[in-house]
Homo-oligomer: A and B are copies of this chain.
Amino acid sequence: MAVESNDAIPISRITPDTPLDFPLGTLLNFYLEMDPLIEGQHDITMVFDAHPFGHLNLEVRDSLKTGTRMPGAVPRDPEDDYSDQAIQARQAFIKGQTGANLKHISSYSFDPHVTQGNIEHFTGAAQVPMGFAGPLLVHGEHAQGEFYVPLACTEGTLVASYNRGMKVLHRSGGVKCAVVGDNMQRAPAFVFDDAASARRFADWIVAKTEDIRAVAEATDPFIHLKYIDYYLAAKFAYLRFNFTTGDAAGMNMVGKATFAACNWILQNCDVVEIQRFVLESNFATDKKSSMINMMRSRGKRVVAEAMIKRDVLLEIMDADTESIYYHGKVANIGSMLSGANNNGCHAANAITAIFLATGQDVANVAESSMGILYSELTPENDLYLSITLPALIVATCGGGTGLPTQKEALEAMGCYGVGNVFKFAEIVAGTVLAGEISLAAAISSLDWVSSHDQFGRNDPTSAS
């Protein structure tokens, strides 16, 4: 008998004559038909034969929870928690507890069941205003042509500012975009008796990489284990699994694959004794800005670059390329001193607004907003400007991308679904660059030489 699905298997079906055949690292679900247990703590013992491991004995102490909910708990419906009835019960509960009116939160245009897998305790929807900026003219390896970019935000001037930057880019010939890295990580840590053991373990991992890859990749058809980095400190070995995950952001995929890999490691490591293990050790580093992501990428590493024509910038933005260039030099030193994770102006704005519109995991703004701005001034005072986003976490399928407004927003860029994630990453980076030009120009147009006799003549406020 082979495992064919994730369905639970009645234990009675497994006997010495009809054993269960399954690959290592598989999650198996069994059930036992018996009378209901009473509430409280129970000792559970499971005895079985497994080849080639022999006779095994697993003992667990667990307690049967009563299901009695805490007073004041948010109401749930175990049958269908996304039914109108369940939702209205929650809305009534929140109103009752807080006195708040949920009129607008209760207004949404979709069947709440579509949010299953995206949210629990569904009570309504936040409505975030959305505008479109464009056309953004992209010369990417995947995105080619003009795009209208949906931006959902509540900060006035942002959409106008991006729109203006896109105009500058368009008139300068467009923005060149390229994805230069693709990586998604999970980083478990293993604890040993001492540092030398940790190093021996790391050597063993290197030797066993092919086995580990096979185990990890068996967990999902779209996952590929690129390589495993390791970092040693004290008596710890930090492994950083680097995967590609197709068009999904892939956090869940890599979690599952890494867990299977660790399971295999724990079962097979025979060179040293593993004292402890944790599945994540802040080396991934998910939803955090970090130097490791800055260097070694997380999600997509994308570069957008353009040659901004001096006269175009002057005409559209009233700003000189030289001023932007000099501002960048001052801001570079500012960033080094302040320890900022981005030496540019405001990558976070574009990224957040697009993430929000398109159903990305907006919390990934934490790492996705890192960036490196770089510029050069040509002899003709045209401005080469580029932004490198080392950890842009994007998806065109999975997560929130299939929700109604989010899917429409992706479709407006021709980016919904499989095969589009690189294209989408390029458009995001191009939009970020548009915003860098626009804000840098706005700041720089306030920049003027201030010799004393000019103060009378040049009211600084005249520059705005």
Residue interface mask A38-79, B partner, CB < 8 A = 1: 000000000000100110111110110100001011100000
Cα A331 to Cα B371 with chains together (Å) = 16
What's the minimum C-beta distance from A55 to chain B, rounded to whole angstroms? 8
Q: Tell which of B159, B189, B199, B452 touches A119, judged by Cβ atoms closer than 8 Å.
A: B159
Return chain B residues, CB-CB under 8 Å to A125: 127-130, 152, 405
Whether B289 contacts A157 by the Cβ 8 Å rule is no
Q: How many copies does the complex hold?
A: 4
Task: Give A346-362 interface residues, CB cut-off 8 Å to B.
Answer: 346-349, 351-353, 356-357, 359, 361-362
Residues in B whose Cβ lies below 8 Å from that of A347:
287
CA distance A282 to B342 in the complex (A): 9
Give chain B nearest CB distance to A38 CB in angstroms.
17
A335-B336, A369-B363 given; A53·B456 CB < 8 A: yes
CA distance A56 to B459 in the complex (A): 10
Which of these, B115, B386, B447, contacts A277 with CB under 8 Å? B447
The answer to whether the Cβ of A394 comes within 8 Å of any Cβ in the partner chain is no
State the CA gap A274–B64 with chains docked (Å).
44
Whether A134 lies near B456 (C-beta < 8 A) is: no
Tell whether A291 pairs with B339 under 8 Å between CB atoms, given A98-B412, A152-B126, A353-B363: yes
User: Is A248 part of the binding interface, using a Cβ–Cβ cutoff of 8 Å?
Assistant: no
Which listed residue (B53, B102, B195, B341) contacts A288, Cβ 8 A? B341
Check: A234 CB closer than 8 A to any chain B CB.
yes
Given that A333-B372, A386-B234 are contacting pairs, would A266 and B455 also be in contact in the complex, using a CB cutoff of 8 Å? yes
Query: Known contacts A336-B336, A341-B290, A408-B100; is A129 also within 8 Å of B133 by CB?
Result: no
A444, B279: Cα distance in complex, Å: 8
Interface residues as binary, A124-142 with B (CB distance below 8 Å gives 1, 0 otherwise): 1111111111110000010
| Contact residue among B181, B279, B369 (Cβ-Cβ distance under 8 Å from A443) | B279
What residues on B are CB-neighbors of A388 within 8 Å? 195, 232-234
Sample 28 A-B pairs with CB under 8 A, ordered by A number.
A65-B315, A74-B134, A94-B132, A97-B146, A98-B414, A100-B408, A101-B411, A104-B109, A105-B130, A120-B159, A120-B160, A124-B405, A125-B152, A125-B405, A154-B361, A155-B400, A176-B194, A180-B202, A233-B303, A234-B372, A238-B337, A278-B444, A287-B346, A288-B348, A335-B336, A353-B363, A362-B362, A365-B366
User: In whole Å, how far is A342's beta carbon from the nearest beta carbon of chain B?
Assistant: 5
Q: Which of A300-348 contact B (CB under 8 A)?
A: 301, 303, 305, 315, 318, 326-327, 329-343, 346-348
Q: Which residues of B contact A339 (CB under 8 A)?
A: 290-292, 294-295, 339
A305 CB contact (under 8 Å) in B131, B195, B270:
B195
| A27 beta carbon closer than 8 Å to chain B | yes
Is the contact region of chain A dominated by helix, strand, or loop, or is it mixed?
A: mixed
Q: Given contacts A50-B456, A276-B326, A333-B372, is CB(A127)–CB(B342) below 8 Å?
A: no
Which residues of the other chain, B, contact A342 by a CB distance below 8 angstroms?
Answer: 288-289, 366
Chain A 130-178 residues near chain B, CB threshold 8 A: 130-135, 141, 146, 148, 150-160, 163, 167, 170-171, 176, 178
Does A5 sit within 8 A of B, measured CB to CB? no
A105-B405, A282-B334, A408-B100 known; A462+B363 contact, CB < 8 A = no
**A170→B70 contact, CB < 8 A:** yes
A225 to B53, CA, bound (A): 42
B residues in contact with A405, CB < 8 Å: 104-105, 124-127
**A450 in the interface, Cβ–Cβ < 8 Å?**
yes
Once the chains are docked, how many angstroms separate the CA of A106 from the CA of B103? 18
Q: Is A303 touching B232 in the complex (CB atoms < 8 A)?
A: yes
Known contacts A126-B130, A187-B334; 20 further A-B pairs (Cβ under 8 A):
A74-B148, A98-B148, A100-B411, A102-B408, A118-B155, A119-B159, A120-B156, A125-B129, A126-B150, A155-B361, A191-B330, A195-B388, A276-B330, A283-B337, A285-B335, A287-B346, A291-B292, A332-B332, A336-B336, A365-B366
